[in-house]
Structure 1
Amino acid sequence: MDPYALLGVARDADEKTIRSAYRALAKKHHPDLNPGKPEAEAKFKEIAAAYALLSDAEKRARFDRGEIDATGAETAPRGSAGGGGYYRQYAGDGGHARYSAGAEDFGGFDHDDLESLLRRAFSQGGGPGNARAGGFPLKGQDAHYSLAVDFLTAARGATRRLTLPDGQVLDVTIPAGLKDGQTLRLAGKGGPGVNGGPHGDAFVEVAVSPHPLYRRDGDDIIIELPVTLKEAVLGAKVKVPTIHGSVMLAIPPRSSSGTRLRLKGRGIRAGHQVVELKVVLPPGEEPELATFLEGWKPRHDAHPRAGLADLDREGA
């Protein structure tokens, strides 16, 4: 299927648009978020393959020119059977080679690009494996992939297996504190080198899915903790989840909604966990509480909406 259609972007979409479309679809169809749904896994692989092609500037350009298909396989070369197709398979050294479709020399390649250097290297008889051909070692092409991970994996770190479009796998080490959109470099995991040169590198862009409980602020973790009216007024000790396991937290007496308490060292790396209290009233009727409040006269006057009138007049 057309990779542009798979990601739902126009053929002239810029890199940022393509990346945003991929992240949204990857989070929606990620197998970890769709357990027991093989169709989601299949869709996720299609999306990953489409992004792998369109996020690589050279591969995208070659696809747009019809030189490769949506799987990255070579299409029938233009011209004679022994012409440009041979050299095209060596195009790209980490994305730095330039292809010139309008050049007349060297089968359609610019003299100044890497392709012309390869031509000179192999000009005396053979291919990248012929040492006597005057060739020189060249680093293999870099590969670009994407990987979706959950919030806790990114926060705590782990190893995740990335399945490539061709069925091969890469074990990717996720360092603790990885951020959404960050790119990891896997040295030597790209394409094979030419004429004995080293392998290229693999670059893995990571998309981190949100968590229903935690949110991140730098290396701090923020969590909203519901508490009862009694716990807020009288104080209490309650169990609080953290990314490293549950701990007991002391709620001071006379706490209000919005009160922030800190759990030192319970964030990412040297960060902390910040607990925001949210006072929750009982779900049902509490006649005794209502009777008490009707006759209750606070010892200290409180004006929780003081200043709102002045702000309202300023906005008028």
Structure 2
Amino acid sequence: MAKRDYYEVLGVGKNASDDEIKKAYRKLAMKYHPDRNPDNKDAEDKFKEAKEAYEMLSDADKKAAYDQYGHAGVDPNMAGGFGGQQGYGGFAEAFGDIFGDIFGQQAGGRRGNGPQVYRGTDLRYSMEITLEQAAHGHEAQIRVPHWDECDHCHGNGAEPGSSVETCPTCNGVGQVRVSQGFFTMQQTCPKCHGSGKFIPKPCTKCHGQGKLKSQKTLEVKIPAGIDEGMRIRSSGNGEPGINGGPPGDLYVEVHIKPHPVFERDGDDLHCQMPISFATAALGGDIEVPTLNGRASFPVPEGTQAGKTFRLRGKGIKGVRSGYPGDLYVHVAVETPVKLTESQKELLRQFDRSVHEGGSRHSPQEQSWLDKVKSFFS
């Protein structure tokens, strides 16, 4: 099935700012998160689709490639796709400066007349943390792929007792010239794949790679205030470069689990607070939870359902600004249930006394009744 336009997936225009793209993704991620939609395949697919769209549009290089070439510009499985190493052969190598500007990083450089040198591919690691960990900061250990030098061939890729030879096809250059009509272009050597080397007897342990894949443990420090979808870069911990090229980077993408009490909006927090009918009518102090313990504030008498109270500085400290957001408490007046007969009678007496007092006790009800009378008159 054809992929949807990434801007359409997030519901933003092509001129949307980074903040608008981020807010749109965060809204969709909260709506379709698997924790909120267990056993819902459709929600899971939409969550993955939104995540993919955000990963592309939040990266300046990938966004530029997508804006110019569409999905073909960012699909590593298609020729010229962003992020692929072999996709830059032929035309891309013949016009390397142009493609280097478009894609942000060229497929490879050259050391003199030697083989192509490629930067290692970046790795991505998705990490889920709690809202408390996001607010206060967190240290975690993660296991990521790592490549060690092969202990059998000591890294040269050849079986012990044999040697590495210069590629006979490209004479160690790593590229060959191909004529197509009036044009002569350079392409990656099909025999040595750009390495300039030929191994007659590859190492039986690493199969000529000179390295073995393993795993290593990294310490990740998550700064206080980090928000949904933000990434932490660990330089040099991506895949190793090719032919002596520099390694890629590791990007740890942070996702925040839904919280049972709070909903986050930037650095602000929102929560629903049920209060009794008596407290709403008479007023009083109530306690509310915060991420740093409990806080109390006065509820004035006559508080109506849906009233919002703002507690300054009780939100999350911004990861960039350093200033805390606010906590918005949305009051929900709770209707008593399972009343005894005596309690019901007391409420009936109270209701009669309120109506005898006229509109001064129930101004909203009286206003509504006036509108109804006006409608039918």
TM (normalized to structure 2)?
A: 0.50
Distance 1:302 1:121, change over 3 A: farther
Task: Name the residue aligned to 1:28.
Answer: 34
> What amino acid is aligned across from residue 338 of structure 2 in structure 1?
G
- The Cα RMSD (Å) is 4.6
> What amino acid is aligned across from residue 290 of structure 2 in structure 1?
T
Task: Name the residue aligned to 1:78.
Answer: none
Answer yes or no: is 1:146 the counterpart of 2:138. no
Show the 5 A alignment for 1:223-242: 223-242=271-290
Among residues 319, 323, 326, which one is paired with 1:272 in the alignment?
326
The Cα shift of 1:111 comes to 3.4
Distance 1:263 1:301, change over 3 A: closer
The Cα shift of 1:273 comes to 1.2
The Cα shift of 1:157 comes to 2.4
Mapped contact 2:88–2:107 kept (Cα < 8 A):
no
Mapped contact 2:30–2:258 kept (Cα < 8 A):
no
Among residues 247, 255, 258, which one is paired with 2:306 in the alignment?
258
Answer yes or no: is 1:177 the counterpart of 2:225. yes
**Bigger strand share:** 2
Q: Secondary structure at the match of 2:281?
A: helix
CA distance in 1, matches of 2:126, 2:31: 12
> What amino acid is aligned across from residue 227 of structure 2 in structure 1?
K
Among residues 364, 367, 374, which one is paired with 1:304 in the alignment?
364
Q: Secondary structure at the match of 1:246?
A: strand
Task: Name the residue aligned to 1:39.
Answer: none
Q: Secondary structure at the match of 2:286?
A: strand
The Cα shift of 1:281 comes to 1.6
Distance 1:25 1:265, change over 3 A: closer
Answer yes or no: is 1:204 the counterpart of 2:263. no
Answer yes or no: is 1:192 the counterpart of 2:226. no
Shifted more, 236-245 versus 298-307: the winner is 298-307
Distance 1:274 1:121, change over 3 A: farther
Answer yes or no: is 1:282 the counterpart of 2:336. yes
Mapped contact 2:126–2:252 kept (Cα < 8 A):
yes
Gaps of 5+ in 2: 11-24, 39-47, 57-61, 63-70, 97-105, 146-213, 318-323
CA distance in 1, matches of 2:266, 2:226: 11
CA distance in 2, matches of 1:26, 1:258: 26
* Higher RCO, Cα 8 Å, sep 6+: 2
CA distance in 2, matches of 1:157, 1:150: 10
CA deviation map 1:152-194 (0-9, x unaligned): 3223321233444665444333222222222222223223345
CA deviation map 1:47-95 (0-9, x unaligned): 9xxx8xx97999x845568xxxxxxxxxxxxxxxxxxxxxxxxx99x94
> What amino acid is aligned across from residue 87 of structure 2 in structure 1?
Y
CA deviation map 1:237-269 (0-9, x unaligned): 232111111223332222221222232321111
Structure 1 or 2, whichever has the larger Rg, is 2
Mapped contact 2:227–2:266 kept (Cα < 8 A):
no
Answer yes or no: is 1:217 the counterpart of 2:265. yes
Task: Name the residue aligned to 1:122.
Answer: 114
CA distance in 2, matches of 1:308, 1:140: 72
Among residues 59, 70, 94, which one is paired with 1:111 in the alignment?
94
TM (normalized to structure 1)?
A: 0.58
Distance 1:308 1:161, change over 3 A: farther
Distance 1:310 1:203, change over 3 A: farther
The Cα shift of 1:202 comes to 1.7
The Cα shift of 1:122 comes to 2.9
CA distance in 2, matches of 1:117, 1:198: 11
The Cα shift of 1:307 comes to 6.7
Mapped contact 2:304–2:333 kept (Cα < 8 A):
yes
Answer yes or no: is 1:249 the counterpart of 2:249. no
Task: Name the residue aligned to 2:65.
Answer: none
The Cα shift of 1:14 comes to 5.6
> What amino acid is aligned across from residue 295 of structure 1 in structure 2?
S
Identity of aligned residues (%): 26
